[in-house]
Structure 1
Amino acid sequence: MTATPSPALRAGKLAAPLVLASVLAASCGAQIEEDSSTSTATVKRCGEPVEYQTPQRAVVYEGGSADKMFALGLTEHVHGYVMPPANPPVSESPWAEEYEKVEFLGDDLLNRELVVQANSDFVVAGWNSGFSDQRGITPEILDRLEIQSFMHAESCYNYPEFPEEHDPFEGLYTDMRRLGKIFGVEDRAREVVADMKSRVQAVRDAAPEGEKVPVFLYDSGTDQPFTAGNQVPPNEIIEFAGGRNIFGGLEERWTQVGWEAVVEGEPEVIIILDYGDKPATDKIEFLKNSPRTSELPAVVNDNFYIMDYNEGISSPRNVDGLEKFGKYLREYEG
């Protein structure tokens, strides 16, 4: 796993539920009442105040970036999307119809050449997912090319230039507000965030009482597993649903741990992060057959929960993931 980082580490397939309908009705093909024509707005890019001109040819990287734009009714401002193979098919997105209205630009990692060739004026991605020093595409480099950029607030935790820390769901809300200000649709952003918060609170109110179920999120890795620390959405999905992330004490985003620590955590539920590189069924088979994990309570009792990749990275679909996992824990009998 050290040779090929997992998609969640770089970023960091269940059908969308009907409860998303209230957001979809207002977002897919939404009529924007506010003025989203060209204007300027000063908005933070992580911890750095940046003056933005309203973008007209946005390039978005991965489902989380695209879905944030589509949820705000900003399809007309999106030129195209870059979707690496690990991301589940866009046909499974609640915004599948919006994807069809914009251009598919590639299935590789985000790179500077692609952005320049697309004549983009705005790029949305996360730090260490789309933006990367190693690959030569950073906000600073794009600034010099006069291409605006926006980073997911959740990923700002380890952005070296202007770090900024948010609880993961608050990072999602922050992104929606900031994008709303950049594009002049602040009222729409407030509506979307209010709907998200209401749905999140409903899950928290319904969470099982009593001792929290210990949960391990398994992203990938055989020699050493990658998992979720407390700086990424699955940590709060687990917590808000009524569970306890056995690695919730790690001040990290997506991180590598040892199998010994997993064994010591005695997880009763294992979340499998599902994406295209390796099917969830293969990961479950590995856990069942490995002598290090075959006796874990979750494995013995076959308590596996499959989480869609786009419900685990920063995305409007985090709320869907929370609702689904909340239902799972309410029905969990141990």
Structure 2
Amino acid sequence: MRTSSSRAGLAIAAVLSLTACGASEVVPEAEVATEGENATDYPLVVDNCGESMTFEAAPQRVVSLDQGSTEILLALGLEDRLVGTASWTDPVLPELAEANASVPRLSDNAPSYEVLLDSDPDFVTASFARHYRTGGVVERARLAETGVDAYLSPADCEGELLINGGGTRTRPLEIDSVYEEIRELAEIFDVSSRGDELIAELQERADAATDRIEASDRTIAFWFADTKSPYVAGGLGGANLLATTVGAENVFADLDDDWTAVGWETVVEREPDVLVLGDLQRDRFPGDRLADKKDFLASDPLTSSMQAVQEEDYIALHGAEMNPSIRFVDALEKLADGLDEIGQAP
């Protein structure tokens, strides 16, 4: 594979918002902090989900194909490197909005390969392997042929097994996979100290959220999208990790897929105490938005019979919070608040 472009220079603030450049414009070499004792020792070899990449220096032109990976890069102060983002389910985190404002959005959903290539990236990153499979945006091998390194979140693979690329998990996801992505991207871009600080902050918030929750005996179901055949969280992915972290039981923990379509009859039969509802802003499927989900649950003859619906024992999470990302901690905090509120209800 072709290695990334020339090494970056002096520090800039992580929150600095720079003017975005189009694909036809010349992007000046970005400045990234040299991390002292934590400075990346190039050439850097990264083994990532069955692929080996060698970096002679930090990448200069980056396309992120998923919101989760985009927000990690923004949180690391790398908005000046981003020449394109895609696949958004929700507004960007408020604290990252200023940094994101100048970054071109290639597509609200997955972009075409031609659109990706037109942004002239030297590095592509994704949260989900579906972008790199046949029928997705582009296969990693094809990017390699054009000299572009393609990184996949460790949360979506087990070695060479690609979870959302046609594989199924064989073991439960752990939050360390999210921290690994932060750590590796920070090292690739020579900002390891920023990565360490971000991980420490997330760990502190996660500990604070779980410390105020006692082990719960409540059962829950995570409904991501679609009113016809609801996509619910199985027992090995990110949503189930949220459930186990707060001490609750996912009623669909016996299913291996991260997300799978089931019938409403099955949801009613399993009778979860609490429904965790995805509030998605993308409007791709019926019931993406929270209000639409609530209206459906209350009006459908089958689902309206559930006690959780009658009592409105709901907890709302953004779509990005229901998948492995830095928003895992935001989801924990909302679950802690929601379970506490439901527990105190008469």
Would you call these one fold, judging by a TM-score over 0.5?
A: yes
Return the alpha-carbon distance in structure 1 between the equivalents of residues 60 and 293 of structure 2.
Answer: 41
**Structure 2 counterpart of 1:81:** 85
Match of 2:178 among 157, 164, 172: 172
**Structure 2 counterpart of 1:50:** 53
- Equivalent residues in 2 for 1:119-130 (5 A)? 119-130=120-131
Alignment pair present for 1:238 and 2:243: yes
Alignment pair present for 1:280 and 2:286: no
- Cα 1:141–1:166, aligned 2, differ >3 Å: closer, same or farther? farther
Return the alpha-carbon distance in structure 2 between the equivalents of residues 191 and 258 of structure 1.
Answer: 43
| Structure 2 residue identity aligned to 1:127 | F
**Structure 2 counterpart of 1:99:** 100
Match of 1:269 among 274, 285, 296: 274
Q: CA RMSD in A?
A: 2.7
**Structure 2 counterpart of 1:7:** none
Match of 2:72 among 68, 73, 77: 68
Return the alpha-carbon distance in structure 1 between the equivalents of residues 236 and 45 of structure 2.
Answer: 26
- Cα 1:301–1:254, aligned 2, differ >3 Å: closer, same or farther? same
**What is the identity percentage for the equivalent residue pairs of Structure 1 and Structure 2?**
28
- Cα 1:218–1:166, aligned 2, differ >3 Å: closer, same or farther? closer
Give the aligned length: 305
- Cα 1:199–1:58, aligned 2, differ >3 Å: closer, same or farther? same
Question: Could you state the TM-score of these two structures normalised by the residue count of structure 1?
Answer: 0.82
Give yes or no for contact 1:56–1:121 (8 Å, CA) kept in 2. Answer: yes
Give yes or no for contact 1:65–1:124 (8 Å, CA) kept in 2. Answer: yes
The Cα shift of 1:298 comes to 0.8
- Cα 1:108–1:224, aligned 2, differ >3 Å: closer, same or farther? closer
Gaps of 5+ in 2: 1-12, 18-31
Return the alpha-carbon distance in structure 1 between the equivalents of residues 65 and 41 of structure 2.
Answer: 23
The Cα shift of 1:111 comes to 2.5
Return the alpha-carbon distance in structure 1 between the equivalents of residues 341 and 86 of structure 2.
Answer: 37
Alignment pair present for 1:28 and 2:15: yes
Alignment pair present for 1:198 and 2:180: no
- Cα 1:265–1:112, aligned 2, differ >3 Å: closer, same or farther? same
- Equivalent residues in 2 for 1:168-317 (5 A)? 168-209=174-215, 211-276=216-281, 277=283, 278-317=288-327
The Cα shift of 1:52 comes to 3.1
The Cα shift of 1:316 comes to 1.2
- Cα 1:52–1:118, aligned 2, differ >3 Å: closer, same or farther? same
Helix, strand or coil: the match of 1:332?
helix
Give yes or no for contact 2:84–2:104 (8 Å, CA) kept in 1. Answer: yes
Q: Highest CA radius of gyration, 1 or 2?
A: 2
| Cα offsets for 1:221-266 (capped at 9, x unmatched) | 3332111123432222222223221112322111122323312321
Helix, strand or coil: the match of 1:76?
helix
| Structure with more relative contact order (C-alpha pairs < 8 Å, separation 6 or more) | 1
Question: Could you state the TM-score of these two structures normalised by the residue count of structure 2?
Answer: 0.79
Return the alpha-carbon distance in structure 2 between the equivalents of residues 205 and 249 of structure 1.
Answer: 27
| Cα offsets for 1:172-228 (capped at 9, x unmatched) | 11110111121122222122112212221222222123x521111111233321111
| Structure 2 residue identity aligned to 1:300 | Q
Return the alpha-carbon distance in structure 2 between the equivalents of residues 264 and 40 of structure 1.
Answer: 56
Alignment pair present for 1:150 and 2:151: yes
The Cα shift of 1:160 comes to 5.6
| Structure 2 residue identity aligned to 1:299 | V
**Structure 2 counterpart of 1:8:** none
Match of 1:329 among 325, 336, 339: 339
Return the alpha-carbon distance in structure 2 between the equivalents of residues 93 and 46 of structure 1.
Answer: 31
Return the alpha-carbon distance in structure 2 between the equivalents of residues 274 and 203 of structure 1.
Answer: 21
- Cα 1:164–1:28, aligned 2, differ >3 Å: closer, same or farther? farther
| Cα offsets for 1:274-295 (capped at 9, x unmatched) | 1121321111111122222111
Return the alpha-carbon distance in structure 1 between the equivalents of residues 254 and 295 of structure 2.
Answer: 28
Helix, strand or coil: the match of 2:105?
strand
Return the alpha-carbon distance in structure 2 between the equivalents of residues 160 and 258 of structure 1.
Answer: 22
Give yes or no for contact 2:238–2:258 (8 Å, CA) kept in 1. Answer: no
| Structure 2 residue identity aligned to 1:88 | D
Return the alpha-carbon distance in structure 1 between the equivalents of residues 255 and 109 of structure 2.
Answer: 30
